[in-house]
Structure 1
């Protein structure tokens, strides 16, 4: 049986102490389970045993919580999730999916959760997605190309870390053709914002519903349509428009999330080591900058040059 184990205190300790605490936890596990296979990863310990060991793990100090899980590759994830979901969702009416990632991927956690949720709905049409109080919540941790699927979080003896039981989804937006500059700025802030030019209102409303997106519009009549998930942007000034969206949806803007999406196509950017962009960017840029990002769809490279500094200055009032 495979267990995913979460640490209790490591996140609070200064760096020199983290390795020691981690070693202590692993040693304690070995003392209790000498025949188990143990592997460490960033923020996690993976334990493989021949038998069920829940009661033993509950008594080991340093463990905040743990989960029996199944492991698969990223390529196998869809089929494994469907197989995992079938027995546990058979008699349920609602479900949710929470995805966490470690490493570089061409998708966000929210995008992968939405993709897998759609596959489950396709196979089990009687179900509904409930992002607040689902009857069953499926957790997925994607760590590089390895994936771990589970639906149970068992508290350890040291319950320092609380593993969230609810799905907290960042809002996604669809922006009408009167707000193109706003769409670009929302992407720069790190949020998912699709944008369509010269499209019918019916198309925007349909895409909003299909993709669970909030429609941002300057057309007040769209907000009044029954069932529309739309927000009317009242201001004509770009900075005030940004403020309206941030305040309405309580968006948290951090430097870490900014510029994580392509401003052209909205796809998540992939961080690249400097040596990977040699010959792909101007020589002076390669010489001056150390950090680069790349959009696989647009084949476009990004770096934090003068344009980045100007945007930071423009948006500084919104950064927490």
Structure 2
């Protein structure tokens, strides 16, 4: 019904001037968000769907903050992407459909805000029984609520990239080139293979009880994950 209503032709009146200005400000804010520079590269934060776990594994070995699992549901991927401000990398049509449904819902909210801001149009729609009768206070309250929702949603828009290549290594090459991820020797294995946590160097004597005696005697550098429950230990073979 929103699409049908939004097609109504109407002329703005002076009483709606302030409301129209608010809509313009809202749209300008959206443009500012779209133009905002997003940092990717080696310092970016990524989440990959279950079909791209192989790509995620290689990114993690490069020291990139990449989370992935073939057990993640689409809803959980969207949750992590929004709450941790991650770029979604995907080939999943179902996941893309969910993202675009959210985008469409947001556009419908914007249409309704414009409709509620036009008193003459609202009266016309009520007369045509396309809208339930409401007081001016109720209409304005609903409009303000929608404006707040749109502003909040715009601040948390999903960022996503659709992988086009087929085959793990071609996909990895595409992602690395797209996000300008480069090889840095100091970053190699800086992320835990198991949990994506930060891996840091630890004192040799602190992990003596965790390794074989021969390994302990023949190795000078050990690193350990600071996040996962296992405290994953890594041995420098250089």
Normalised to the residue count of structure 1, the TM-score between the two structures is 0.40
Aligned twin of 1:302: 234
Equivalent in the alignment of 1:193: 66
- Which structure has greater helix proportion? 2
Q: CA-atom RMSD, angstroms?
A: 3.0
Unaligned runs of 5+ in 1: 1-127, 134-165, 310-320
Matches within 5 A, 1:102-113: none
Distance across 1 between alignment mates of 2:234 and 2:42: 27
| Equivalent residues in 2 for 1:167-186, closer than 5 Å | 170-186=43-59
The alignment status of 1:235 with 2:165, answered yes or no, reads yes
Q: Is the 8 A contact 1:293 1:303 kept in 2?
A: yes
Quickly say closer, same or farther: Cα 1:278–1:212, change in 2 above 3 A.
Answer: same
- Which structure 2 residues correspond to residues 37-48 of structure 1 after superposition, within 5 A? none
Matches of 2:158 and 2:201, distance apart in 1: 36
- Shift of the 250–228 alpha-carbon distance from structure 1 to 2, 3 Å rule, reads same
Tell me how far apart the structure 2 counterparts of residues 169 and 218 of structure 1 sit (CA, whole Å).
21
Cα deviation for residue 262 of structure 1 reads: 0.3
**Higher strand proportion, which one?**
1
- Say how many residue pairs are matched: 145
**Secondary structure in 2 aligned to 1:294?**
strand
- Rounded to whole Å, the distance in 2 between the matches of 1:203 and 1:247 is 27
Question: Does 1:272 find its partner at 2:202?
Answer: yes
Which stretches in structure 2 are left out of the alignment for 5+ residues? 1-32, 104-156
**Deviation of the 1:223 alpha carbon:** 4.3
Q: Aligned-pair distance for 1:263? A: 0.8
SS of the equivalent of 1:199 reads coil
**Partners in 2 of 1:184 and 1:169 — Cα distance?**
14
Name 1:213's counterpart in structure 2: 86
Q: TM-score, normalised by structure 2?
A: 0.53
SS state at 1:173 partner: strand
